[in-house]
Chains A and B, each alone.
Chain A
Amino acid sequence: EPEVTQTPSHQVTQMGQEVILRCVPISNHLYFYWYRQILGQKVEFLVSFYNNEISEKSEIFDDQFSVERPDGSNFTLKIRSTKLEDSAMYFCASSARPGGNEKLFFGSGTQLSVL
């Protein structure tokens, strides 16, 4: 089965530093998402992206966050100035179509640790 690939699997950074998390969605998918999961807490929606635009974002996705599709295959999440509370597992997901019944494929995640 096709899969979403995320790199790196682990990222350690100092507070205040910028990080870029990378994702390669499934090749024929057009809708892209970032979710995160703080240890012991639920998976939370951050942002959805389609046609080079943000479709929806949550309150968590403030000005410190940005997303980009720099080329035909990659989808990135940038955190400009990391805070301790940004430490979490970040999941990229993609789907072929929008809609509540559309299957989301999740990557294995990037564990971000902010020291």
Chain B
Amino acid sequence: QKEVEQDPGPLSVPEGAIVSLNCTYSNSAFQYFMWYRQYSRKGPELLMYTYSSGNKEDGRFTAQVDKSSKYISLFIRDSQPSDSATYLCAMSALAGGATNKLIFGTGTLLAVQP
């Protein structure tokens, strides 16, 4: 089983739709869960992070973590064409020392049609 699994898409939705993006993982040591957005030819940009289980909301974006199911989600409300990008989930374990090793999913390509 892969450490982090993510549906690669592509996912195409009309403007204004609610988008649901998901990842599953196998390593129960993961404590920090992040969503990155990556535009073409750019580096990943952090959108949301959550520690342990729960929900977090930031504007049109909501991140959910269910550690019991090893499942994380990102919801985008009122999607806009500018949201078109690849969305990467990423996770890290609670580690000591000077490290921030992230394990990424493969990314989901999202296209929001005007």
Contact = CB atoms under 8 A, between A and B. Distances in A.
A90 to B, nearest CB: 10
A98 B97 contact: yes
Contact of A56 (B42, B99, B105): B99
Interface residues of B, number: 28
Interface of A: 4, 31, 33, 35, 41-45, 48, 50-51, 55-56, 58, 91, 93, 95, 98-104, 106-109
13 contacts: A31-B98, A41-B106, A43-B88, A48-B100, A56-B97, A98-B97, A100-B51, A101-B32, A101-B51, A102-B100, A104-B102, A108-B41, A108-B42
Contacts of B32: 100-101
Given A43-B88, A91-B44, A100 B104 contact: no
B22 to A, nearest CB: 15
B87 interface: no
User: A31, A42, A56, A107 — which one has the most chain B CB atoms within 10 A of its CB?
Assistant: A42
Given A43-B104, A45-B103, A50 B46 contact: no
Nearest to B39: A108
